Amino acid sequence: MMIRVLAALAVLVSAYVHLHLWIDGVRHQHVVGPAFMINVVAGVVIAILLLAWRDWEPLFLALGFGVSTMAAFVISATVGLFGVNEHWQGAYVWSAFIAEAVAVLAGAIGLWREGYLPAARRPVSKARPRPAG
C-alpha cells in the first residue's frame, strides 16, 4: 500500500506543478495550455484511483503518466513541442521531473510487488546432472 501512496503523491506533485504553471500563463498557449490542464485532471484522477482501486490499472496509469509527461518535457527541451522550447532550469521543472520519475518507478515497483508482472525465472538447463562419485 505504501508504494501506491508514494505513486499517488508523485502524480499529485506533478499535477500541482502543472496547475501552477497553467495559472502563471501556460493556459494562453494554443496546444500546451489545454494539455497542462488535462495533466492536472489526470493526475488527480490517477491519485484517487491508486488509493481506491486495488487492481493493476491505476499502477499502470501512474507509470504511463510519468513516462508521457517526462517525454513531452524532454521533447520540449530538445526540439520544441508545439512552439514551446523549455529549459532544464527552475524549481518547478525539476520538482515535476523528479515527481514523474518517482511515479514511473513506483508504478513499476507496484506492478511487480503486487504480482501483476511475471517473476523472473531461471532458465531450465537441458543438461542432466552428473552422478556424485
- Domain segments of the chain as ranges: 2-113
Residue 67 corresponds to which cell in the numbers above? 513516462
Once rounded to an integer, what is the mean pLDDT over residues 44-60? 96
Higher-confidence position of 119 and 2: 2
* pLDDT score of 15: 97
Give pLDDT tens digits for 73-126. 888 888 877 666 676 677 888 899 999 999 999 999 999 998 888 766 666 666
* pLDDT score of 127: 63
* pLDDT score of 10: 98
CA distance 18 to 23: 9
Overall pTM surpassing 0.95 (yes/no) = no
Once rounded to an integer, what is the mean pLDDT over residues 28-55? 93
* pLDDT score of 117: 82
Measuring CA to CA, which residue among 94, 26, 97 is closest to residue 68? 97
* pLDDT score of 91: 86
What are the residue ranges of helices labelled H in the chain?
Answer: 2-23, 32-52, 56-78, 91-113
| Mean pLDDT score of the chain | 87
107 touches 69 (CB < 8 A): no
84: β partners? 81
* pLDDT score of 123: 65
Give Cβ neighbours of residue 70 (< 8 Å, ≥ 6 apart).
Answer: 97, 100, 101, 104
The pLDDT of residue 47 is above 80: yes
